[in-house]
Amino acid sequence: MENPSKLDQQLCFEVYKASSNFTKLYARTLEPFNLTFSQYLVLLVLWENDSLLIKDIDIRLGLGMGTLNPLLNRMLEREWITKEQSTEDRRAFTISLTDKAKQAEKPIEQAIINKITSCNYLDVNAISLMKNLKELNAFFGQMDL
């Protein structure tokens, strides 16, 4: 039996590959809705709490403003969101869902559920995997990265 390579022994590499594969899985599922994975994450945040300042979306997702602003602009062009100047701070903007985005929540959610359950892997392992990843991310959150 061949010894695993140094790369194959790295936890970070397995997490990276899993993340990449999840992104591909979601990208294929979201393609009929003309959404990217990152845009879907924005919608998830807004479906939970509509009408948020851009900085609050940035804090929640951790994408960075250089990534988030162009992404929001594309969503604005495709009529998923609206963007209005904040009444409290003229430098800030509030992002809200359009009717299109509100009506698409259930169909998108169902498409994701159908795709994930068709994989059949997550039925048994999802809870422990989620718990382990949350613990890992909490650990990283305590570090000075």
CATH of 7-142, one of 3.40.50.300, 1.10.760.10, 1.10.10.10, 3.30.70.890: 1.10.10.10
- What is the C-alpha separation between 28 and 9, in angstroms, rounded? 29
* pLDDT of the residue at 138: 85
Residues 6+ apart with CB under 8 A from 68: 42, 54, 57, 58, 61
* pLDDT of the residue at 124: 59
* pLDDT of the residue at 8: 80
* pLDDT of the residue at 79: 97
Label residue 42 exposed, middle or buried (CB < 10 Å: 0-12, 13-18, 19+). buried
* pLDDT of the residue at 116: 79
Regions of the chain short of the pLDDT cut 70 = 1, 120-124, 145
Tens of pLDDT, residue by residue over 92-125, are 999 999 999 999 999 999 999 888 777 765 665 7
- What is the C-alpha separation between 23 and 112, in angstroms, rounded? 12
* Sequence ranges of the domains in the chain: 7-142
Neighbours of 101 (CB within 10 A): 22
